[in-house]
């Protein structure tokens, strides 16, 4: 992958963090009406949805800025949590509009997590950014 992809990933994670914060704002202040909530999700699932999205963005951005050695691994763990909540939302609560299409979208999301995880584990830029100085 391009040696500048780490910057693309950083922008993606900042976007994830902003999306999660906006989702929380709408969750706690429904009059904000940003259109981010899914009415099919129970309140607890919706809260967990925004918590995991915000946490994933925050962990990567914090780790990137501080050069935290464990950032790639914790980010991959967060991908696993996002994949799990995606499964629950898709199977139990008809995420992505319901129908068969929802499983295709879930599959695409899973493939993205696998690609990003592989990048985090194999990229020279990631290794250099987060290598331990010990």
Q: Counting runs of H as helices and runs of E as strands, what totals does the chain give?
A: 5, 0
Q: CB–CB of 130/63 below 8 Å?
A: yes
Helix (H) or strand (E) holding 84: helix 71-93
Q: CB–CB of 78/57 below 8 Å?
A: no
SS3 at position 90: helix
Measured in residues, the chain has a length of 134
For the cut 60, the answer to whether the pLDDT of residue 1 exceeds it is: no
The residue-averaged pLDDT of 6-25 equals: 97
For the cut 90, the answer to whether the pLDDT of residue 63 exceeds it is: yes
Q: In the numeric block, which tokens belong to residue 64?
A: 């990137």
**Residue 132: per-residue pLDDT:** 74
Give the model confidence (pLDDT) of 37-60 as tens digits.
999 999 999 999 999 999 999 999
User: Which residue's entry shows tokens 């999660």?
Assistant: 20
For the cut 90, the answer to whether the pLDDT of residue 106 exceeds it is: yes
The residue-averaged pLDDT of 84-98 equals: 93
DSSP character at residue 39: T
SS3 at position 108: helix
């Amino acid at each position: 992958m391009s040696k500048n992809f780490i910057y693309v990933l950083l922008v993606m994670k900042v976007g994830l963090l902003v999306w999660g914060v906006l989702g929380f704002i709408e969750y706690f202040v429904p009059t904000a009406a940003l259109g981010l909530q899914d009415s099919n999700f129970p309140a607890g699932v919706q809260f967990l949805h925004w918590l995991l999205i915000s946490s994933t963005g925050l962990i990567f951005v914090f780790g990137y800025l501080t050069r935290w050695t464990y950032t790639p691994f914790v980010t991959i763990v967060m991908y696993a949590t996002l994949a799990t909540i995606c499964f629950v939302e898709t199977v139990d609560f008809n995420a992505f509009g319901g129908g068969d299409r929802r499983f295709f979208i879930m599959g695409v999301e899973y493939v993205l997590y696998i690609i990003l995880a592989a990048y985090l584990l194999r990229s020279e830029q990631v290794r250099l950014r987060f290598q331990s100085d010990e």
